Structure 1
Amino acid sequence: MIYVSPLSAVIDAIRTVRPSHLVSLLDPETMIDTPEGVARELHLQLAVNDIAEPNDMLVTPGEGHISELIGFVRSWDQRSPMLLHCWAGISRSTAAAFIALCTLNEDHPEDELARLVRARGSHAHPNRLMVRIADDLLGRNGRMREAVEALGPGRAAWEGELFSLPTHPERTVP
């Protein structure tokens, strides 16, 4: 399973879902150390701001960050859950969850995976820049971008809540 949470729920989520792998997507000033219960080498820390356009004053998610995320997901043995979080659990972490699902399910339609993220987290509003970069790196020819754009905005929220996604979801029969 893949779990998505805001920073405020990380410690409780580690206690309850017992993830082997953790991905933190926070700006450099608020990046956390590896929490107890997670091995340091299984904690990917991506210090990026939640922005969709380059900004000289902030750390823009880039190809290197998304490539690291994809490599981390590919190296995960999937025997224990992976927990993804950002500050609010709405944008960077839901983009990372969508990217993880697309990485693990190469032949699964992107629109189904995006709708699954939204169905499990109604507040999900995946970071468009992260998705655009992943779309290019995974060779999805714009389908990831289109799938996220088709979702529209998520439910308005200051902070999301913990939700889970199956690692290999069933395909929807047309």
Structure 2
Amino acid sequence: MSRIVVAPLSRIAEMAVRNRCREMISLVAPKQDFHRPAVIDPARHLVLGVNDIAFAGTGDLVAPQEAHVEAIIAFARTWDRQAPLLIHCMLGVSRSPAAALIAALAVSPDQHDDAVALRLRAASRQATPNSRIVGIGDALLSRDGRLVRAVEQIGRGADYVGEQPFFFDIEPAVTQTDAGAGP
């Protein structure tokens, strides 16, 4: 089973080492300085300079754009899935959960959008995926509004309770019953 580790910036080194991650997507403010964990292959580290906003034209802030989400999709599709993919933003609450949803559907597009969103909510009660990233991803992945509606259905996450990395499985676990092995 392929897994994404979603984390706040302050926990990326710990989570990368603990989970043996070799690839990482960073969604950070433009020009934000941070240290890439040594276990992450520099050639497999996508850095996107984007602020956590939902609307373009808000002063000096950089809203997520189609090119940012295209880069997430392209990167996810080249992920070897032999080790977890680490995705982070500043707090691990908005940009990175949205990117995790997009990455999951990019590598496994036959999933039902509602199921993916519900798995995200089960993994993190405080995740509130950035609506702009979700909307752009929905369009680029030809989800016809289903992903946007699914994220709206899970609603805003709980109030921020601190740095809580979480694991997001690309696809649901297959149980023995699901696999036809019997009860």
Would the TM-score normalized by the shorter structure come out above 0.5? Answer: yes
State how far apart, in whole Å, the 2-side matches of 1:167 and 1:144 are: 15
State how far apart, in whole Å, the 2-side matches of 1:40 and 1:118 are: 31
Is residue 145 from structure 1 mapped to residue 148 from structure 2 by the alignment? Answer: yes
How far apart are 1:31 and its partner, in Å? 4.3
State how far apart, in whole Å, the 2-side matches of 1:126 and 1:156 are: 13
Mapped contact 1:120–1:165 kept (Cα < 8 A): yes
Structure 2: where are the runs of 5+ without partners?
A: 179-183
The Cα RMSD (Å) is: 1.5
**1:56-109 residue CA offsets vs partner (Å, 9 max, x unmatched):** 421110000000000000000100110000000000000011111111221111
When Rg is computed on C-alpha atoms for both structures, the one with the higher figure is: 2
Mapped contact 2:51–2:64 kept (Cα < 8 A): yes
State how far apart, in whole Å, the 1-side matches of 2:113 and 2:155 are: 15
Is residue 69 from structure 1 mapped to residue 69 from structure 2 by the alignment? Answer: no
1:107 is paired with a residue of what secondary structure? coil
Instruction: Count residues with an aligned counterpart.
Output: 172
Structure 1 residues 121 and 160, CA gap change in structure 2 (3 angstroms): farther
**1:14-33 residue CA offsets vs partner (Å, 9 max, x unmatched):** 12011011011000132434
Task: Identify which of 95, 99, 106 aligns with 2:98.
Answer: 95
Range 161-170 or range 86-95, more displaced: 161-170
Task: Identify which of 28, 33, 36 aligns with 1:34.
Answer: 36
Task: Identify which of 117, 123, 127 aligns with 2:126.
Answer: 123
Mapped contact 1:6–1:159 kept (Cα < 8 A): no
Q: Which residue of 2 aligns with 1:107?
A: 110
Task: Identify which of 88, 103, 113 aligns with 1:85.
Answer: 88
Could you tell me which amino acid in structure 2 is paired with residue 40 of structure 1?
A: P
| TM-score normalised by the chain length of structure 1 | 0.94
Structure 1: where are the runs of 5+ without partners?
A: none
State how far apart, in whole Å, the 1-side matches of 2:17 and 2:46 are: 18
Q: Which residue of 1 aligns with 2:12?
A: 10
Could you tell me which amino acid in structure 2 is paired with residue 18 of structure 1?
A: R
Identity over aligned pairs, percent: 37
How far apart are 1:168 and its partner, in Å? 2.3
Mapped contact 1:89–1:159 kept (Cα < 8 A): no
Could you tell me which amino acid in structure 2 is paired with residue 143 of structure 1?
A: R
Q: Which residue of 2 aligns with 1:157?
A: 160
Could you tell me which amino acid in structure 2 is paired with residue 7 of structure 1?
A: L
Q: Which residue of 2 aligns with 1:53?
A: 55
Q: Which residue of 2 aligns with 1:22?
A: 24
How far apart are 1:158 and its partner, in Å? 5.2
Q: Tell me which protein shows more helix as a share of its residues.
A: 1
Could you tell me which amino acid in structure 2 is paired with residue 165 of structure 1?
A: F
